[in-house]
């Protein structure tokens, strides 16, 4: 009975857990390498001067001659308002001028007659002065009527929107039949002349940008690289994007077409060649709120977790700011199936391959090597 009870208890107990398999891992030796990526921003080619043209008077648009993309010259008519009201006002001013001229001529004749009477001592000097004052008032009214006529004539001329410089129409903001106020934008013109590349940089990079610095400008369509110089850096951030606008002057003869997309590489923000420790992203894993890697201990053939700090990215690699030193061996792939203290074997490829990121003879400070940010 005792033997039967022991056998029954042994049959009911939980079986021993299977031993964790010894996995083969691919290792890489931590070393210091040079950063390769550079900060690159997307920009747009724009005219140095882009005007938003509008009528100097309000009214209803009856005709628009300008079309999007059309090349215009100085003096070309771009749009036309209904001029009838302004023409009537000019005619009224012309009639007022005629009346003022008549009044002035009458006052001049009256003054001449009273001057002759004064010479004969038939009237007093005060009477002649009154006639002189009336002549001056009539002359002032005439001058006012002339100015009013000139103003109304200008108002009628302002119903024609004329290009003040040669360029290309880049935008249409109003259509025929629309009633616009004075000064409302109707046509946008990019004037011929200098060209700029406009791009935006974040707040932590704007301090390194200054007028006169050289930048490389690469066209998106043709891949041609130009050299430009920073012309202007915005003094305040954009209200929506919180970035700072930078304008780069480029050679007009080699500039891409207006509105073309280009890539801008500021040399002041380049960290190419800076020594740093880099790891492939396959070697990284998340440990709570921190980033960690598996470090291989050759003495015990086990692995342990090592928390690291990532500074930035360099292409497809992560730049390590702290946590590793050259010469350490870390697991390069399959990090999600491992556990702390697990025994592993080193994966041996069928053909010999060169060790990635071999540590150089001279060791550098890891934190200082990766302290400078690189491109994302």
User: What CATH number does residue 169 fall under?
Assistant: 2.40.50.100
What value does the CA radius of gyration of the chain take, rounded to a whole number of Å? 42
Number of folded domains that form the chain: 4
| pLDDT at residue 373, rounded to an integer | 42
User: If pLDDT is split at 50, 70 and 90, which confidence band does 200 have?
Assistant: very high
Q: How confident is the model over 61-87, as pLDDT tens digits? A: 999 999 998 999 999 999 999 999 999
| pLDDT at residue 366, rounded to an integer | 36
- Compute φ and ψ for 280, nearest 5 degrees: -70, 150
- For residue 373, is it within any domain? no
Q: Does pLDDT of 367 surpass 60?
A: no
Mean pLDDT of 253-267: 89
Tell me the percentage of the chain whose pLDDT exceeds 70: 88
- Burial degree of 279 (CB within 10 A; 0-12, 13-18, 19+): buried
- Distance between CA atoms of 309 and 92, rounded to whole angstroms? 81
Least confident of 54-68, 113-127, 245-259, 356-370: 356-370
Q: Does pLDDT of 60 surpass 80?
A: yes
- Distance between CA atoms of 55 and 62, rounded to whole angstroms? 13
Both 177 and 74 in one domain: the answer is yes
Both 237 and 308 in one domain: the answer is no
Asked if 216 and 262 touch (Cβ cutoff 8 Å), the reply is no
Asked if 141 and 104 touch (Cβ cutoff 8 Å), the reply is yes
Q: How confident is the model over 80-107, as pLDDT tens digits? A: 999 999 999 999 999 999 999 999 999 9
- Distance between CA atoms of 323 and 301, rounded to whole angstroms? 21
Q: Does pLDDT of 351 surpass 80?
A: no
Both 279 and 226 in one domain: the answer is no
| pLDDT at residue 120, rounded to an integer | 85
| pLDDT at residue 354, rounded to an integer | 46
Residues 6+ apart with CB under 8 A from 159: 55, 57, 59, 80, 81, 82, 83, 86
**Domain range for residue 164?**
53-79+160-187
Work out the mean pLDDT of the chain and round it to a whole number: 85
pTM of the predicted structure, to 2 decimals:
0.58
Both 74 and 178 in one domain: the answer is yes
**Structure tokens given for 235:** 């003094």
- Distance between CA atoms of 312 and 319, rounded to whole angstroms? 5
């Amino acid at each position: 009975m005792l033997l039967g009870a022991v056998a029954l208890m042994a049959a009911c107990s939980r079986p021993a857990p299977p031993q964790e398999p010894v996995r083969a891992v691919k290792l890489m030796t931590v070393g210091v390498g040079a950063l390769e990526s550079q900060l690159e921003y997307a920009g747009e080619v724009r005219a140095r001067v882009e005007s938003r043209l509008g009528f100097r008077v309000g009214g209803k648009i009856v005709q628009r001659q300008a079309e999007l993309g059309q090349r215009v010259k100085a003096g070309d008519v771009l749009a036309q308002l209904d001029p009838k009201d302004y023409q009537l006002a000019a005619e009224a001013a012309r009639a007022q001028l005629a009346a003022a001229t008549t009044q002035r001529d009458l006052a001049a004749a009256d003054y001449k007659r009273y001057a002759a009477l004064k010479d004969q001592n038939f009237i007093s000097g005060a009477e002649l002065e009154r006639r002189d004052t009336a002549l001056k008032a009539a002359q002032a009214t005439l001058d006012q009527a002339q100015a009013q006529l000139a103003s109304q004539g200008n108002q009628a001329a302002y119903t024609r929107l004329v290009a003040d410089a040669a360029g290309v129409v880049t935008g249409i903001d109003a259509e025929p039949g629309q009633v616009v106020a004075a000064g409302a934008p109707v046509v946008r013109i990019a004037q011929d002349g200098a060209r700029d590349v406009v791009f935006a940089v974040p707040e932590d990079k704007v301090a390194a940008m200054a007028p006169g610095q050289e930048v490389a400008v690469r066209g998106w369509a043709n891949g041609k690289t130009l050299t430009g110089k920073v012309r202007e850096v915005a003094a305040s951030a954009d209200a929506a994007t919180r970035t700072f606008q930078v304008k780069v002057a480029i050679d007009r003869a080699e500039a891409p077409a207006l509105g073309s997309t280009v890539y801008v590489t500021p040399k002041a923000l380049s960290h190419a060649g800076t020594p740093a420790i880099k790891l492939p992203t396959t070697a990284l894993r998340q440990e709570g709120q921190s980033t960690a890697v598996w470090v291989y201990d050759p003495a015990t053939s086990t692995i342990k977790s090592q928390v690291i700090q990532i500074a930035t990215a360099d292409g497809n690699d992560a730049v390590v700011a702290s946590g590793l030193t050259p010469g350490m061996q870390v697991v390069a792939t399959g990090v999600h199936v491992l556990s702390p203290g697990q025994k592993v074997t080193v994966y041996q490829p069928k053909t010999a391959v060169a060790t990635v990121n071999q540590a150089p003879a001279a060791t550098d400070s890891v934190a200082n090597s990766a302290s400078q940010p690189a491109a994302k």
